[in-house]
Amino acid sequence: MGPSSDAFNLPLFLRSALGGVLMGLANLVPGISGGTMLLAVGIYPRFIEAVARVTRLRIAPAPVLLLGVVVFSAILAVVLLAGPVKDLVVERRWVMYSLFIGLTLGGLPVVWRMARPVDLNARAGAAVGFVIMAALAIAQATGSGSAGASGGVVLMFVAGLAGASAMILPGVSGGYLLLVLGAYVPILSGIDAFKAALSAGDSAALVDVGLSVVLPVGLGVVIGVAGVSNLLRIALARFEKFTLGFLIGLLLGAVVGLWPFREPVRPEVGDVLKGQVLDAQTIEELAVEEWPTLRFDPGAGQVGLALLLVGAGFGLTTLVDRVGRDRGDSAG
């Protein structure tokens, strides 16, 4: 990626900061890829190179500064916007999921272009990726998830690993992976609670949320970014077509779990949720985002608006990709 990657000037600083903010937002919104956001501001190649160099202990000022600016900006965006985004997903589920479907499908041309010409290996990879993602989506729809505290910590760590993929892979949404793992709303709620405890100076709440959510997710993200970036380099070098086909399959399979016309339904006494039989007190303590969801029949207006939102999401991701290609062509 040339000598330009060894210089860190003001324009690169500003693009890194903007890319970090967009990447943070991408990890809050299922369907948007953080990698695609970095492409949009023209720093994706430098970011991948910086991660690879730092994780292999080839330390230099420019890569460290770039990573620092991107990561700090991303964290700032996540902390400030986690609460509002979570509320929209919980309270306007069918609207947000319709948008997510479009955003997810909009990432498909990014990887398709990288995979051309599509051969048998790419098709095999796509089939494997689709089956894996569809299985995750079905597991989430049937309500499987962790119930205990220790299981929750493990889930948060795995969710951090999953979310890290979106920071590396263009077109693949880490936010969606969090959604199908059942960790999306808990993580956003935890971040919002951590921010509230910090503002209130509640040290006990800070420690509780920090140990149960922030620390395991943070460790998962750090390990995931380092691992995925280096694995991606190896996989693309040795099995390029299969790997790119696998990414295409992930994107297509992601839509399986984004059926928008579902709504939260208040559980009743005696219902079983995550392996626990609910009583009246337990139900009162449940937040709306923890309620089970059921499908409903949409009206004609809802169907029409959902289709418009799918189109808008697809157009937005496609536009970001086009801007990223233009930036990539001009940034050298």
Q: pLDDT tens digits for 15-41?
A: 888 888 888 877 777 666 777 778 767
For 305, half-sphere exposure in the C-beta direction (CA atoms, 13 angstrom radius) is: 12
Q: Is 7 left (phi over 0), alpha (psi -120 to 50) or beta?
A: beta
Nearest Cα residue to 212 out of 191, 233, 227: 191
Token readout for 323 is 């801007």
Residue 47 lies in a domain: yes
Are 63 and 49 within 8 A, CB to CB?
yes
Facing residues of 273 across strands? 276
Are 206 and 198 within 8 A, CB to CB?
yes
Q: How many CB atoms lie within 10 A of CB 235?
A: 16
Nearest Cα residue to 83 out of 197, 174, 240, 162: 197
**Cis before 117 (ω within 30):** yes
In the block, tokens 């991948």 appear at 48
Q: By residue range, what is the domain housing residue 231?
A: 3-261+297-330
Note the pLDDT of residue 142.
58
C-alpha span between 313 and 279 (Å, rounded): 41
Residues in the chain, pLDDT under 70: 1-8, 30-32, 40, 136-137, 139-151, 166-167, 170-172, 176, 179-180, 273-275, 289, 320-321, 323-332
Number of structural domains the chain divides into: 1
Residue 27 lies in a domain: yes
Residue 179 lies in a domain: yes
C-alpha span between 252 and 131 (Å, rounded): 10
Sign of CA dihedral 39, 45, 48, 54: negative
Are 318 and 39 within 8 A, CB to CB?
no
- Report in angstroms the alpha-carbon separations of 272 from 57, 147, 278: 49, 11, 6
Note the pLDDT of residue 331.
41
Note the pLDDT of residue 150.
40
Residue 266 lies in a domain: no
Residue 291 lies in a domain: no
Note the pLDDT of residue 210.
83
Note the pLDDT of residue 147.
36
Are 159 and 189 within 8 A, CB to CB?
no
Residues 106-165: tens digit of each pLDDT: 878 877 888 889 899 999 999 998 998 787 667 666 554 433 334 478 878 888 887 777
- Report in angstroms the alpha-carbon separations of 230 from 49, 171, 234, 241, 311: 10, 18, 6, 17, 35
Residue 149 lies in a domain: yes
Residue 286 lies in a domain: no
- Report in angstroms the alpha-carbon separations of 145 from 46, 187, 195, 266, 274: 37, 14, 25, 18, 6
H-helix or E-strand containing 223?
Answer: helix 215-238
* C-alpha R_g of the chain: 20
In the block, tokens 């903007």 appear at 18
Token readout for 268 is 């009743």
C-alpha span between 35 and 227 (Å, rounded): 15
Residue 77 lies in a domain: yes
Angle between helices 61-91 and 10-28 (to 10 degrees): 30
Note the pLDDT of residue 330.
44
Q: How many CB atoms lie within 10 A of CB 132?
A: 14
Token readout for 48 is 């991948």
DSSP 8-state symbol, 256: G
